[in-house]
Structure 1
Amino acid sequence: MTTVKPDRTEGSTMPSLLREVIGDVLRRARTSQGRTLREVSDAARVSLGYLSEVERGRKEASSELLSAICDALDVPLSELLVDAGEQLARQEPAKASAANIDPDTKVVIPPVVSLALA
């Protein structure tokens, strides 16, 4: 039996999980530095497999582990969290319009009104 993973890409209407977004930000930071998983896992003192799971959004990293990974990448933890927050925020307007919610007032617009405004 195969399991289908929900599509949580940036263009998707499904919300990304925080651990997926944090993993994506960590992976982009590592690859932009041209570093391997092994290099960063050794520097952070975390197993290569676990770091890979964190980067893929499969494992929820503790604050201590995130701090160690950020130190290994020479990226402030606050920068990681800001980048993750911005990535999540970019998904919110798409979700709001898909759900017939006015993005400014956060008021639900009935489908009949939405059609009349179109």
Structure 2
Amino acid sequence: MTALLREVIGDVLRRARTDQGRTLREVSDSARVSLGYLSEVERGRKEASSELLGAICTALDVPLSRVLSDAGEQMATQEHKAFLRASAANIDAATKVVIPQVVSLAVA
């Protein structure tokens, strides 16, 4: 099963924050969001509004468009993997393929 968009966005935000070496408290203070709520957003438990995402992105100095495009790329990768797993699961192992023998033709 593919992840929910809020989970993927949370992962992208957490990665941006940890890559900067910043704490939840620093970012929550800067974004004027409660620490608990920011934690819930990062864990994919809360669906952040566009205004809240904008405030978090501003606090992280990361464009919202970058967060959304990174999340979209992650979603596409997960969906592709899920599609491949589903396709492989639909192959019937009991199906037999008969390959005819090669017959050589005489050339006169």
TM-score range, shorter chain: 0.7 to 0.9
Q: Could you tell me how far 1:24 is from its partner in structure 2? A: 0.3
Supply the RMSD in Å over aligned alpha carbons: 2.1
Give, in whole Å, the separation in 1 of the partners of 2:96 and 2:90.
10
* Structure 1 residues 110 and 42: CA distance shift in structure 2, 3 A: closer
* Structure 1 residues 116 and 19: CA distance shift in structure 2, 3 A: farther
Which runs of structure 2 are paired with 1:21-100 in the superposition (5 Å)?
21-100=8-87
Structure of higher CA gyration radius: 2
Give the 3-state SS of the residue equivalent to 1:16 in structure 2: coil
Q: Could you tell me how far 1:110 is from its partner in structure 2? A: 5.4
Matched, 1:16 2:16: no
> TM-score, length-normalised on structure 1?
0.75
Q: Give 5+ residue unaligned stretches, structure 1.
A: 1-13, 102-108
Q: Which amino acid aligns with 2:83?
A: A
Identity over aligned residues, as a percent? 72
Q: Give the count of matched residue pairs.
A: 97
> What corresponds to 2:106 in structure 1?
none
Q: Could you tell me how far 1:116 is from its partner in structure 2? A: 5.6
Q: Could you tell me how far 1:74 is from its partner in structure 2? A: 0.2
Give, in whole Å, the separation in 2 of the partners of 1:64 and 1:110.
43
> TM-score, length-normalised on structure 2?
0.82
Q: Give 5+ residue unaligned stretches, structure 2.
A: 98-108
Q: Which has the higher contact order (CA 8 A, sep 6+)?
A: 2
